[in-house]
Structure formats: C-alpha cells, structure tokens
Structure 1
Amino acid sequence: MPFKLIEDETGEALTSYSGLPLVLETCEALGLTRLVKQHVHIKQRQRGYSESVYVQSVMALIAVGGDCLEDIERLRSDAGLKLLLGEMPSAEAVRFFLYGFHDEKLLEGRPEEGAFIARETQPLAGLWEVHREVVLKGSRKEEPKQATIDQDATVVESHKEQSRMTYLGERGYQPVINYWAEQDLILSDEFRDGNVPAGMDCLTSFLRATRALPQSVETIYFRSDSAAYQHKLLDVMRDGIEFHGKQIPVYFAISADVSEVLRGKIVSLSESAWKPLRRLTEKGLIEGRKQWAEVEFIPSAASMKKDMKPDRYLAIRVRPWQTELFSDGNSYHYYAVVTNRWEMEGEELLRWQRERCGSVEKVHDVVKNDLAGGVMPCGRFYANAAWWRLNCLCYNVISIMKRKALPESFWPVRMKALRFHLIGVAGKVVSHARMMFLKITEGLIGYRQARSQLVEFSSA
C-alpha cells in the first residue's frame, strides 16, 4: 500500500472509542453509581478507586470487546478516553476487585462429587440488587402488563482446576439466566458449578426473577426446556404467585420428559390425530417433517394435587429425512410440551414455546461470545460469578441504551454492528474556554440526540 508510518508527536487527545461514553452515560442515567455505592461493599480501605469506578470500568472493557482483564490496558492508554472518562484501574487492580467477591468459607460444604448450589456472598448479592434496580428503572416508563420469562442454562467452558465437569464432558460452569423477552432484559442470573444439573431448583431461580419485574405486571408467561419439567415448579405456577400484594397468574409452556408411559400414549394415537407442525418463513407457513397432536396424559407424580385441573400435553413427532428409520431403529422421534394454556390453538402454542430458542439462547450467545462471559478471569468461584453477573448487567445497559437513546433500526443489532457504527468510531477531544468537546463524524447516528434522550430518560 502506498503509505508510510510515522509516530504522532502532536500530543492530540485522540480516541478509538468515541461512542463508549454513551454506554457509561446510560449507566449514569440508570443511577448505577448510586446503586453500586448503596449495595456493593468490598473495599477495606478508603483510598483508591470506588466500587462504582471498578464496575463501570469493567462495563467499558466488555462493551468495547475486551474479553480478559489485561485488555483494559488498551483503554487506559487511550488519551482521549482518559480525558472523557477519567483514569481507569489497572488489570491487576480489577483482578483484586473481583477477588473481593470471593469467600472460600461458603464453599466448605461443596462435595467433591455431586451437585451443590453455592449461597451467594454479600457483595455478589449486592451486585444482583444493582442488577434488579437497573431492570426496574429500564422498564418503568412503559408500565408493562405482561412478562414472558424464558429460563435456560448454558455451559461456559473453563480449564481452571477449580471448575467441575459438565454434562458435555468438559470442565466449566453452568449458569442459569431468566430472560424477559418483551423488554430484552436479563431479569436474573445464577452462577453454578458445571456439574449442577440445569433442572436443579428451577423454582428458586424463577421466583428470584419475578422480584425484578415492575409492579405494573399483571400476567407472567414462562417458557423453558425440559430442565424445568419439575412438578414442584409446576404446582406453584398453576396456583399463580404472590406479587406485590396481589395474586397474579402464571402461564407456562415447558418441554416435558417423554416417559415410557407418556410415549405409550403418544404412540397409540390414531393417524387422524396428527396435524402438520408448520414452520413460519418469509413465504408463509411451510410444512416439514414435524407433526403435532393433543394427548391426554396425567402424570403419576406425588406432587400432583388431587382435585387439580389436568395440564394440557401436546405431542410432537419428527420423521427422518429420506431413510426409512432413524439410526436408533424408530420411524419417528417423539417430543412433548406441557402447558396450562388452553386458549391457544396447538400449533400456534408450540411455535410460541419454540420462540424461546431464538430469545434466551441468543442471549446466552451474546453474553458468552459478543461480550466476555465466555472467558472466566480466574479460578475463584465467586470472582467468576461476579464477572458473569457484570456481563449480564452490561447486556442490560446496552439493551436499554439501544431502546432509549438510539434509532429503532439499531434495537435488534448485535454488538459487532454496534461497535462498528458507534462504540469503536474515532474521535478527538479538544478543550476550549474551559470546556471539553468531543469531535466526531457529523453523521454518527444522532449522537447529540442520543445524549439528550438519555437525559430525558434519567429524569423520568
């Protein structure tokens, strides 16, 4: 290429991340500094950086695409950011901040083999209170009447010696999140060892998520895979839950375990009972290899209440592509969904339940791969839990920023596009008449308007 490199000796305050301040201004609009000061207490000394500076520095690191602590040195060396945001802590300082979330004593009951859900340390629980209030602030203006909660676990691979073996045969962790589909917000997360089954104590995880919902919610919908096929959870949902002094209904659609008894019921259905389970495409509804049918089934689980209205079971069968049989010798594979929603047509309900794959599973992908949740910073369990929670918090802050400050065309974009068009755009910081200015490209997606909308949002 026809150019030569020379060092910049002008001393100008340039930045490669002129859009990053908008992320941190969203934090301020949400009251993050106040919330962290109120709920997260780690420091043993009064000097040094505050907890809120650490939290927002980690958020900045994640937002620009850093996935390990050492990447923060790239931000610390950015002259423009230093003027705009102030000094950031070093990678080593952030590491010790994360260590402050750890308490080995709470892991003393952790068995060498077998599942164990660790109780959260006080700083980690405080960080969830910050997370909860961010969700409440982010959704308050709309006063939503319903909330669809998608619950799912995901494996985060880690080769640290302290991590446990997952069902995939690799070491790591298996956190659970509860995702609010309508608002694109993570309601809650629970960091777990890799050997903890996804179906362990789904009820506690669900109830915690409901604590992050605003009082305006009148109906809750719940979707999950078969990990949540737990009759203790279903019993609570059938009765509805106590929510801010009122009883509200919970409607669920959960993939069911196909037991031998249930499979027998499905196989015995007549051919006329089966209907096509069509895929929704740009060209409309397309028939494929799947069919569905209603099936009468009452589990024999001890938790089933005597006079309880039976749940609705929907069966799905899938035929092979071209071969006569699957490799296991069966002509069909069978699946089932259990629900207490009787008003929806079966095919529509199954498509609605399946939508969770494009919501919560997409969120896991974003947190682990677009953000930094897929790379654990150390071997200390609670430090990693704090790192995961900070990634979930960053997801929410960016989601709120897109919806409250950016044009509607940016609401669905992934981090790659957001960094390309906003966060990672170059700028220059100049001072004049005792004021600081950030010089950016004129057409940078309405930066000035975005800032004014955040001011309006913060005062709402």
Structure 2
Amino acid sequence: HKHDAKVAYEGTRGYQPLVAVWAEEQLIVADEFRDGNVAGCEDPLSSARRAMDNLPPWVQERYFRGDTASYYTPLLKYLVAEKIGFTISADMTKELRACCLAVPGEQWVELENRGSERVDIAELEFTPGEWPKNALPLRYVAVRFTPLQAELFDSMTPKHLAIVSNRAQVEAGVLVRWHREKAGTIEHVHRVMKDELGAGVMPSGRFGTNAAWFRINALTFNVLTVLKRRALPERLREARPKRLRFELFTLPGKLTVHQGRLSVRTSASKERLQESVEARGHLLAMRQARRTG
C-alpha cells in the first residue's frame, strides 16, 4: 500500500512522519505525516511550534529535546526567543569535528565507563556560521566515546558527538544525561505505534488516506495514555497495548438472563472486575468534570 509513496533516503519507498511527544505525560502533542523523500531536518519548526501551542496553559516551563533533524537554525532561534530550554544533537560538520579534536586532553571529563568504552565530555567554544553575530552564543558540549577494547577489525579511534543547548546554568554531565533520556521517550512511542497499534501497516496507496490513518493511531495512543494514567490502577500505568488487550479489552464473559435480570459470568477474579468498575467510575468523573468546567 505504498504506491504513491516517495523513495526515502535509504532507497525504499515509504513515509517519514514527524512526532512530538510530551515526555512527562507520554502524550503526542503534534504529528506530521510526510513523504519518504522529505527529510526530518526540513522545517521541524512548524511541528515544534504546534507542539508548544498545544500544551495546556497551566504549563509554565517548557523544554525541548531533539536529534540532529532538529538542528535547524530557525528552530534554534525560535526556542531561544521563546525562552524554551533545549538540547539538540548537532550536525557533526568538519568545523565542529575539528573543534572537538582540538580540545586538550586535560579538558575532557569522564562521564561514565561502560566497560567496553569510556565516555568523556568537554565544553566547546564553537559558533556555527549561520548563527547571528549579535545573538547570545549557544552552548556546545562534545561527547567522546573511546573504545577500551578493540573488537576484531575495529578501530580504536574515538568517536565524537556534540549537543547544542541554551541551558547555560546546568552542569554538563547533567545536561548530557538529560538529553539522552529522549531516546527512551520517542523510540517507545514509535515502537508502540508501529508494532502494537496500526501505524506500521498503511491501509492505502493514497497519501491523504495514510495520513489520516497515522493520525488515528496517534489519537489512539493518547487515549490509551489517558486511560492508563487517569482511570486504571497503578500496576497498569506503563502497560503496553498488548497487555491492555489481554487484561482489559478482551475480557471474556457470558451474558445470561434470569428472571428478567441481565448478568455476566466471567472467569476474571473479583479484584480485576473491581478494577474495571473503578476505572469506569474514574472515566465518568472525568466526563462530568469537563461538563461542569
């Protein structure tokens, strides 16, 4: 069902949707269905702006984490202007790589030792050419990965990454760890949408139809998140759709009518049935609260 799909960068036909997630609440606040030949680095600003605008008014502090697709000067300018704290993986250009290699050895600080490699960080004095000269300089932190044991045919040459941020007051190690936490957020959302909901299989060869299908999956993801966090017991707070399907949505039962009374017989335990009753009560209370206010 990818007849109209464009060829992506890896040579296959497909789509490259862009998703913005509210990490603390595990809610998708913006999504954009894109053709496969539209790179993630092409105008991420519109999706980021829409995501921020979709946050409820009671959110007082906003932060942004992104990969190299978000390393986009208009987006950086927007985040700085809106006073939104951010960390974004920087494109490793020749100039930035040269800056990383020029850092003296004593300025590298060990962040962690993984056994097979050591991870060090260092502050960089770097300003990209497209950044306005009169603007406040951004903060660049380099991350160096040094192999401690060479695998067969592997090089012992250290690898370098870098992140850019406007959070000048945060200690470098804390900043890098916070940035890396994004991997546990967006990848989880992608995995659930593709493998456990329906976003992994498109229903049509038409772009618009597939875009609507992807949006339905995003809405379903959010509905399940609200269900888990506002209605279901704590033990199901991090449950994935497969578990919810087993424990809640496909609970078998037999309807019986006796003396004009409708009842259901099920093999579920009393505790699980009570959880379902309480969850329904929580949902009804939420509905009533929205009506009144």
Structure-2 separation of matches of 1:178 and 1:425: 33
Residue 381 of structure 1: how far off its partner (Å): 0.7
Residue 219 of structure 1: how far off its partner (Å): 1.6
Q: Tell me the SS of whatever aligns to 1:291.
A: strand
2:60 aligned to 218, 226, 240, which one? 218
Per-residue Cα deviation, 1:90-148 (whole angstroms, up to 9, x for no partner): xxxxxxxxxxxxxxxxxxxxxxxxxxxxxxxxxxxxxxxxxxxxxxxxxxxxxxxxxxx
- Which residue does the alignment assign to 1:459? 288
Alignment length (residue pairs): 286
Q: Which runs of 5+ in 2 are unaligned?
A: none
Q: TM-score, normalised by structure 1?
A: 0.59
Residue 294 of structure 1: how far off its partner (Å): 0.7
The answer to whether the Cα contact below 8 Å between 1:277 and 1:288 also exists between their aligned partners in 2 is: no
The alignment status of 1:202 with 2:44, answered yes or no, reads yes
1:395 aligned to 212, 221, 225, which one? 221
Residue 207 of structure 1: how far off its partner (Å): 0.9
Q: Runs (4+) of structure 1 moved beyond 4 Å? A: 285-288, 324-327, 431-438
Q: Which runs of 5+ in 1 are unaligned?
A: 1-158, 241-248, 280-284
1:359 aligned to 176, 185, 202, which one? 185
Residue 307 of structure 1: how far off its partner (Å): 2.4
Residue 457 of structure 1: how far off its partner (Å): 1.5
Structure-1 separation of matches of 2:153 and 2:72: 29
The answer to whether the Cα contact below 8 Å between 1:325 and 1:332 also exists between their aligned partners in 2 is: no
Alignment of 1:43-62 (within 5 A): none
The answer to whether the Cα contact below 8 Å between 1:404 and 1:453 also exists between their aligned partners in 2 is: yes
- Which residue does the alignment assign to 2:2? 160
2:271 aligned to 443, 446, 449, which one? 443
Distance 1:221 1:384, change over 3 A: same
Distance 1:286 1:239, change over 3 A: farther
Structure-1 separation of matches of 2:28 and 2:74: 24
- Which residue does the alignment assign to 1:236? 78
Q: Percent identity?
A: 41
Larger deviation, residues 304-313 vs 265-274: 304-313
The answer to whether the Cα contact below 8 Å between 2:63 and 2:84 also exists between their aligned partners in 1 is: yes
- Which residue does the alignment assign to 1:114? none
The alignment status of 1:171 with 2:3, answered yes or no, reads no
Per-residue Cα deviation, 1:144-184 (whole angstroms, up to 9, x for no partner): xxxxxxxxxxxxxxx62211111222111110000000111
- Which residue does the alignment assign to 2:232? 406
Q: What letter corresponds to residue 272 of structure 1 in structure 2?
A: E
Per-residue Cα deviation, 1:278-309 (whole angstroms, up to 9, x for no partner): 27xxxxx98942211111111111xx233221
Structure-2 separation of matches of 1:193 and 1:316: 33
Per-residue Cα deviation, 1:304-358 (whole angstroms, up to 9, x for no partner): 233221111000111235229985x671111100000112111111111011110
2:195 aligned to 343, 346, 369, which one? 369
Distance 1:315 1:429, change over 3 A: same
Alignment of 1:20-31 (within 5 A): none
Structure-2 separation of matches of 1:206 and 1:393: 18
Alignment of 1:258-269 (within 5 A): 258-269=92-103
1:275 aligned to 109, 122, 126, which one? 109
Structure-1 separation of matches of 2:92 and 2:184: 23
Aligned-residue CA RMSD (Å): 2.2
Distance 1:447 1:309, change over 3 A: same
Per-residue Cα deviation, 1:390-420 (whole angstroms, up to 9, x for no partner): 0000000011001111111211121222222
The alignment status of 1:254 with 2:88, answered yes or no, reads yes
The answer to whether the Cα contact below 8 Å between 1:277 and 1:287 also exists between their aligned partners in 2 is: no
- Which residue does the alignment assign to 2:125? 296
2:137 aligned to 310, 328, 345, which one? 310
Q: TM-score, normalised by structure 2?
A: 0.91
Q: Tell me the SS of whatever aligns to 1:289.
A: strand
The answer to whether the Cα contact below 8 Å between 1:292 and 1:317 also exists between their aligned partners in 2 is: yes
